[in-house]
């Protein structure tokens, strides 16, 4: 009788743990999605600003060409190629930024300011997203999560490799 | 910051509101800054004295003193505190929770457990690896994981976080009101070959003894040298411990007001922070630099990064009085070197100004609230609270 009670309690506790873990994983998946949506929006805005920069007086024809190509690539890349394309845009922007140091007319100054604000936000956004992805993957690797299929049908998040120092 | 709609922000303070401490100061300044910029802020904190609290502070009960991390922490937890936290969250209707030091047993941890939604956690402490933390790591992990963004106040704090909880954080320093320190008056009584020290001098880890041991050597090269010690503590008792031959050179000033502090920093020749460890940030160094003092600090990790490895102030080998004496003599006899260090420090201190720091914290808030709903009670504690509420109704 007593062992039955203990076993029952243990089973209850275990079931609670399972539901707790499922909630935890669900929360993580949710975080991956929202942080990606946020980051995606920021990156799109950056590509738009980059295009505007490319069309402006600021850039010489050569860097304008590079910038435009990188921006289009970043916009059209699929999920898997995205981080690579975005890193490309980062380095293109960096190239231009290095040239412009100190000599920007007032009209384009606003653009450059917006760009640096966006860059700061993107850095934080990347950190948040990468953290969410890494967490989710590491949690999903745990045996309990695998054994009881707590992830359900949710796809495994994609690891992006943004090069932060390039941003 | 101006282009954003006003937010309802809930901040949880882990330590007793009325006890002095860096975390409490940080929260007070942050809350007042946010309120001044049109946001509504509620701070939940343990309070020993529930009267005379600022309007934005909600008391969660009296704190209990427990030994933690080599010092006594005044924190609060337990079932009653937990139900107060839940109540505060349920009634607050917050857009965002900002939890401070959520990895220690405190109100912040309870709030992190109870809530769901946009949450930001700030980690202040820097500690050595501890076995106890490893033991509770697995329990803490799912809780800490709920924070949307983690902030560490320094590289040292970030390192502690990655070592203990295997999670990364964004480094945003603590803030100071640089304006208050920019224009201190130079007072005759505190100037001329003076060494300044501010802190709870009774605590060995603040390192006053390291400084005092260096004085005899310094006096040989700088005959007029004097040490000015400010900070709370029993002055008579402290004077007892000072070598009788040095007593004429040491003055205890007691606690300084903000204005006196600014004047103090402006008047002294060098500011010395001989702390031997347990420091995570070193806000006092930021203040000293902002006032244009030449800063000399021990080479513990927090101070090292604060002073840019010696770029914005001089470093000496921690707990080494000989090295400290050498550094002080060197700087006291070389006015141009002292001035250039002080100037570099003053320029660097700008990054600790609240204008900058709050801006960074706020952009983290923005990132945290994107796409999420309001803060609510977590689904896995909601059933508990229903159960408990029913019990309390009986």
Instruction: Give the CATH number for residue B188.
Output: 3.40.50.2000
Residue of chain B whose alpha carbon sits nearest to that of A20: B380
Residue B155 tokens read as 């590289």
Spell out which residues of chain A touch residue B380, defining contact as CB-CB under 8 Å. 19-20, 23
For B385, counting Cβ atoms within 10 Å of its Cβ (0-12 exposed, 13-18 middle, 19+ buried), the class is: middle
**pLDDT computed for residue A148 by the predictor:** 82
Tell whether B120 and B206 lie within a shared domain. no
For residue A92, give the nearest of A111, A71, A78 by alpha carbon.
A71
Domains contained in chain B, number: 2
B148/A128 Cβ within 8 A: yes
ipTM of the complex: 0.77
Residue B113 has a CB neighbour count (10 Å cut-off) of 17
Nearest to B148 among A19, A31, A37 (CB): A31
Share of residues in chain A with pLDDT > 70 (%): 90
Q: Which segment of A92-106, B76-90, B321-335, B354-368 scores lowest on mean pLDDT?
A: A92-106
User: Cβ of B180 under 8 Å from any chain A Cβ?
Assistant: no
Paired sense of beta strands B194-198 and B226-230, if any? parallel
Nearest CB partner across the interface for A125, out of B116, B145, B367: B367
Among A12-16, A145-149, B41-45, the range with the most confident prediction by mean pLDDT is B41-45
pLDDT of residue B265: 93
Is residue A14, in this structure, part of any structural domain at all? no
pLDDT (tens digit, 9 = 90+) per residue, B207-229? 999 999 999 999 999 989 999 99
Instruction: Tell me how far apart the alpha carbons of residues B153 and A139 are, in angstroms, rounded to a whole number.
Output: 27
B195 and B334 fall within a common domain: yes
In a domain, A154, yes or no: yes
Say what the pLDDT of residue B228 is: 94
Contact A128 B367 (CB under 8 A): yes
Q: Are residues B305 and B361 in the same domain?
A: no
Query: How many angstroms away from the CA of B168 is the closest CA of chain A?
Result: 7
Residues B308, B298 share a domain: yes
Residue B383: per-residue pLDDT: 59
Instruction: Please give the residue of chain A at the shortest CA–CA distance from B362.
Output: A121
Integer Cα distance of B302 and A95 in angstroms? 34
Which residues lie across from B121 on neighbouring strands? Answer: B99, B150
pLDDT per residue as tens digits for the range B18-71: 888 889 999 999 999 999 999 999 999 999 888 888 999 999 989 988 877 666
Q: Spell A85-110 as b/e; 16+ CB within 10 A means b.
A: bbbbbbebbeebeeebeeebeeebee
A6 occurs within a structural domain: no
Q: Among B170, B368, B1, B371, which Cα is nearest to A41's?
A: B371
Share of chain B above pLDDT 70, in %: 91
| Chain B neighbors of A24, CB-CB under 8 A | 142, 145
- Residue closest to A78 by CA, chosen among A137, A160, A11: A160
- Domain-embedded: residue A105: yes
The answer to whether the Cβ–Cβ distance between B372 and A34 falls below 8 Å is: yes
- The set of residues, in sequence order, having a beta carbon less than 8 Å from that of B343 and lying 6+ positions away, is B292
* Neighboring chain A residues of B170 at a CB cutoff of 8 Å: 124, 127
From the list A121, A124, A135, which residue is nearest B145 (CB)? Answer: A135
Q: For residues B73 and B18, state if they share a domain.
A: yes
Residues B168 and B200 in one domain: no
Whole-structure pTM value: 0.84
| Shortest CA gap B370–chain A (Å) | 7
Work out the pLDDT band at A141, boundaries 50, 70, 90: confident
Q: Which of B147, B159, B257, B275 is nearest to B211 (CA)?
A: B275
On whether both B167 and B204 belong to a single domain, the answer is no
Residue pair B63/B113 in contact (Cβ under 8 Å)? The answer is: no
Domain shared by B323 and B388, yes or no:
no
Q: Using an 8 Å Cβ cutoff, are B385 and B85 in contact?
A: no
Nearest CA in chain A to B120: A128
* Domain containing residue A140: 25-166
For residue A63, give how far its alpha carbon lies from the nearest alpha carbon of chain B (Å). Answer: 31
pLDDT of residue B2: 45
**Measured distance CA(B341)–CA(B338) in Å, rounded:** 5
| CA-based nearest residue to B365, from B64, B121, B183, B156 | B121
Torsion angle of the four alpha carbons B238, B240, B241, B244, in this order, in degrees rounded to the nearest 10: 130
Q: Output the domain CATH number for residue A119.
A: 1.20.1440.20
Average pLDDT over residues A81-97: 80
Residues 6+ apart with CB under 8 A from B286: B173, B174, B176, B306, B349, B352
Read off the pLDDT of each residue in B299-314 and give the average, rounded to a whole number: 91
The reply to whether B193 and B317 lie within a common domain is yes
Query: Residue A30 falls within a domain, yes or no?
Result: yes
Report the alpha-carbon distance of residue A81 to residue A110 in Å, rounded.
30
Determine the pLDDT at residue B69.
62
CA distances from B317 to A26, B314, B327, B360 (A): 49, 10, 10, 33
Return the closest-CA partner of residue A126 out of A47, A70, A42, A63. Answer: A42
Q: A-chain residues within 8 Å CB-CB of B379?
A: 23
Contact B303, B297 (CB under 8 A): yes
Average pLDDT of B142-167? 85
Residues B210 and B344 in one domain: yes
Q: Flag whether pLDDT at A166 surpasses 60.
A: no
Of B142, B146, B363, the CB nearest to A124: B363
Instruction: Check CB contact of B370 with chain A, cutoff 8 Å.
Output: yes
Both tokens of A91, joined, read 């380095």
Residues of A in contact with B367 (CB under 8 A): 38, 121, 124-125, 128
Residues B222 and B165 in one domain: no
Copy the structure tokens of residue B74: 């005044």
In a domain, A31, yes or no: yes
Two tokens at B152? 């560490």
Is the Cβ–Cβ distance between B108 and B82 less than 8 Å?
A: no
pLDDT (tens digit per residue) in A41-86 = 898 998 888 888 888 777 778 878 888 888 888 888 877 778 888 8
**At how many degrees (to 10) do helices B258-267 and B283-290 cross?**
70
Tell me if B3 is assigned to some domain. no
**Mean pLDDT estimate for chain A:** 82
- Domains: count for chain A: 1
Give the pLDDT of residue B358: 92
Phi-psi map region of B309: left, alpha, beta (phi>0 left; psi -120 to 50 alpha): left
Which CA distances in Å does B233 have to A4, A152, B255, B256? 61, 60, 8, 12
* Residue B388, pLDDT score: 58
The domain of B264 spans: 178-351
Interface contact flag, B363 A120, Cβ < 8 Å:
yes
**Nearest by CB: B167 against A19, A34, A131:** A131
Q: In this structure, are B76 and B45 located in the same domain?
A: yes
pLDDT band at residue B135 under the 50/70/90 scheme: low
Is B2 part of any domain? Answer: no
Condensed to tens digits (0 to 9), the pLDDT of residues B95-116 reads 999 999 998 888 999 999 999 8
Q: In angstroms, rounded to a whole number, what is the distance separating the alpha carbons of residues B307 and A98?
A: 28
Q: How many CB pairs under 8 A join A and B?
A: 44
Task: Answer for the pair B45, B88: CB distance below 8 angstroms, yes or no.
Answer: no
Tell me whether residue B1 is in a domain.
no
């Amino acid at each position: 009788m007593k062992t039955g009670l203990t076993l029952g309690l243990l089973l209850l506790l275990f079931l609670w743990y399972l539901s707790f873990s499922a909630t935890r994983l669900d929360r993580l998946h949710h975080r991956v999605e929202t942080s990606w949506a946020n980051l995606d929006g920021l990156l799109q805005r950056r590509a738009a600003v980059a295009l505007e920069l490319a069309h402006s007086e600021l850039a010489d024809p050569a860097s304008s060409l590079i910038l435009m190509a990188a921006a289009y690539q970043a916009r059209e890349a699929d999920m898997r190629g995205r981080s690579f394309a975005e890193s490309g845009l980062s380095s293109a922007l960096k190239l231009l930024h290095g040239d412009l140091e100190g000599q920007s007319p007032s009209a384009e100054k606003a653009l450059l300011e917006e760009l640096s604000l966006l860059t700061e936000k993107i850095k934080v956004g990347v950190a948040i997203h990468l953290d969410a992805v890494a967490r989710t993957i590491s949690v999903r690797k745990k045996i309990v999560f695998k054994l009881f299929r707590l992830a359900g049908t949710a796809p495994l998040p994609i690891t992006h490799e943004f090069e932060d120092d390039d941003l | 910051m101006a282009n954003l709609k006003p937010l309802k922000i809930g901040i949880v303070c882990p330590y007793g509101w009325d006890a002095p401490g860096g975390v409490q100061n940080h929260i007070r300044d942050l809350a007042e800054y946010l309120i001044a910029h049109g946001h509504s802020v509620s701070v939940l904190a343990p309070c020993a004295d529930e009267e005379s609290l600022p309007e934005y502070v909600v008391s969660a009960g009296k704190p209990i003193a427990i030994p933690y991390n080599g010092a006594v922490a005044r924190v609060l937890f337990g079932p009653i505190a937990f139900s107060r936290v839940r109540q505060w969250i349920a009634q607050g209707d917050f857009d965002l929770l900002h939890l401070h030091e959520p990895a220690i047993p405190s109100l912040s941890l309870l709030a992190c457990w109870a809530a769901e939604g946009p949450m930001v956690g700030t980690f202040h402490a820097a500690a050595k690896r501890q076995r106890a933390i490893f033991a509770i790591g697995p329990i803490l992990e799912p809780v800490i994981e709920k924070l949307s963004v983690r902030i560490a106040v320094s590289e040292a704090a970030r390192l502690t976080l990655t070592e203990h909880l295997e999670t990364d954080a964004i480094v945003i320093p603590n803030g100071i009101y640089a304006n208050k320190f920019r224009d201190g008056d130079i007072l005759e009584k505190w100037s001329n070959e003076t060494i300044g020290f501010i802190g709870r001098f009774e605590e060995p880890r603040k390192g006053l003894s390291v400084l005092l041991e260096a004085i005899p050597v310094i006096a040989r090269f700088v005959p007029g040298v004097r040490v000015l010690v400010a900070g709370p503590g029993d002055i008579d008792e402290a004077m007892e411990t000072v070598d009788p031959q040095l007593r004429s050179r040491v003055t205890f000033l007691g606690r300084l007001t903000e204005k006196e502090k600014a004047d103090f920093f402006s008047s002294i020749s060098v500011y010395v922070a001989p702390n031997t460890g347990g420091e995570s940030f070193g806000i006092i160094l930021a203040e000293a630099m902002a006032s244009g003092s030449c800063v000399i600090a021990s080479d513990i990790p927090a101070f090292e990064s604060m002073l840019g490895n010696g770029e914005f102030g001089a470093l000496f080998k921690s707990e080494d009085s000989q090295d400290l004496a050498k550094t002080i003599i060197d700087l006291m006899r070389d006015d141009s070197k002292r001035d250039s260090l002080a100037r570099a420090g003053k320029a660097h201190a700008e990054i600790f100004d609240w204008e900058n720091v709050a801006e960074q914290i706020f952009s983290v808030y923005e990132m945290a609230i994107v796409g999420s709903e309001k803060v609510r009670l977590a689904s896995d504690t909601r059933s508990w609270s229903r159960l408990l509420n029913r019990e309390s109704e009986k």
